[in-house]
Amino acid sequence: MRLAGRSNGLVTAALLAFLFLLDANSRRPVPLRQPAAAKAVSACMAVTRADVEVVVGRKVNRGEEQTADGSSTCDYSAAGG
C-alpha cells in the first residue's frame, strides 16, 4: 500500500506542476502607460503676486516675466519702488 501512496503524491505533484505551467504561460505582460508630460513652471507661476504681497505687506503690480536660456524671472514692483 505504500507504493500506492507514493504514486498518488507523484501524480499530485505532476498535476500541480502542470497547472502552474499553464497559469504562467497564460499571463500576458500589462502594458505601462506613458507618464504625463511635465509642464514647465514659469517664475511668475511659482511665486504669485499674492505671495509677494503677503511677504512684503503691501500691494504690488502685476509681475513682469522675462525668459532667457530656458529659465525665467519675474519682477514685481510697488508704487514708489
pLDDT truncated to tens, each residue of the chain (81 aa)?
455 555 677 888 888 888 877 766 566 777 888 888 877 889 999 999 999 999 999 999 999 999 998 889 999 998 876
Domain span including residue 51: 2-27+42-75
* Domain presence at residue 35: no
Q: How far is CA 14 from CA 18, 23, 27, in A?
A: 6, 14, 21
The per-residue pLDDT for 6 is: 58
Does a structural domain hold residue 81? no
Question: How high is the pLDDT of residue 1?
Answer: 47
Q: Which residues contact 61 (CB under 8 A, 6 or more apart)?
A: 76, 77, 78, 79
Torsion sign across C-alpha atoms 36, 40, 41, 44: negative
Cell of 51: 505671495
pLDDT the model gives residue 2 = 52
In a domain, 20, yes or no: yes
Domain count, the chain: 1
Check residue 65 and give its pLDDT: 94
